[in-house]
Amino acid sequence: MTKLKIAIQKSGRLHDGSLKLLKDCGISIQNGKDQLKVNVANFPLEILYLRNSDIPQYLADGVADIAIIGENILIEKQKKVEIVQKLGFSKCRVSLAVPKEIETNDLQFFQGKKIATSYPNTLQAFLQKNNIEADIHMISGSVEIAPNIGLADGICDIVSTGSTLFKNGLRETQVILTSEAVLAKSLDLIKEKETILEQLLFRIQTVIRAKKSKYILMNVPNAKIEAVSNILPVLKSPTILPLAEPGWSSLHSVIEENQFWEVIDALKAAGAEGILVVPIEKMIL
């Protein structure tokens, strides 16, 4: 039986989010202790637990068919793979930072300076684009300590909340790129594996769509149904059900989470009452 091999991070920031996504897609994962390869019983999938920085190479070589990986790692490693879906979690940015006593945010500060980083390719491309010449020091970990020990004048590193920078007396000055977890694939998938990937991608998109949406129910006077319906950003049209109380109906619809408060205020102003908002587990169009 043909199985699709997916690489995910063995441990670290992306690991838990990757497993949660797969489980939300109905994929049953039974991990043994210290297993680096796991077969899935209810879907034609084989999971490979790999070191994060190695995943792009395994993907490019076809050892893994697909992978859940940070977009920033793919950009840095510069391997020939294809991103098929952004996943919306593990969002971060690759940024320049300097000691907090440096007051300027001007990129020209880095002209002729030393910069420590784990992202030399990303940094070099950014500096070249902005006509900055700097001395790049490649460090595989603990980049934040470099200015404190006199190794560098600033750093280029991944930033999520900025708390690590703060603890090390640094502050962010320039965002080089933004990143999130993505589903990427090898360029050499056979037809059978492409078919499995399409099935998995359908499940993933269903889960992502549901997370971005809410199910909304409300009571509306019949005379105001049209006005309320015109406000709702629905898939097609709202579901309307009569209530036991004469002259009133219940409207059911779907609303995008990023429109939530704006639409809620408009619905209340139009006459909607008893508004109930419920999370959606899956949403299939």
Q: What pLDDT score was predicted for residue 222?
A: 95
Domain segments of the chain as ranges: 4-88+180-210, 92-179, 213-279
Binned at pLDDT 50, 70 and 90, residue 257 comes out as: confident
- Rounded CA Rg of the chain: 24
Question: pLDDT by residue (tens digit) across 52-91?
Answer: 999 999 999 999 999 999 999 999 999 999 999 999 999 9
Compute, in degrees rounded to 10, the torsion defined by CA atoms 167, 172, 175, 178: 20
Give the Cβ contact number of residue 188 at 10 Å.
11
pTM, two decimals, is 0.86
Question: pLDDT by residue (tens digit) across 3-38?
Answer: 999 999 998 889 999 999 999 999 998 875 578 899
Q: What CATH code would you report for 213-279? A: 3.30.70.120
Tell whether the model's pLDDT for residue 98 goes beyond 90: yes
Share of the chain above pLDDT 90, in %: 76
Q: How far apart are CA 54 and CA 189, in angstroms?
A: 19
Domain 4-88+180-210 listed as CATH 3.40.190.10: yes
User: In this structure, what token pair is assigned to residue 272?
Assistant: 């909607």
For the chain, what is the largest distance between any 2 Cα atoms, rounded to a whole number of angstroms? 77
Domain range 92-179, its CATH number among 3.30.70.20, 3.40.190.10, 3.40.50.300, 3.40.1440.10: 3.40.190.10
Q: What pLDDT score was predicted for residue 231?
A: 87
Domains 4-88+180-210 and 92-179 share a fold: yes
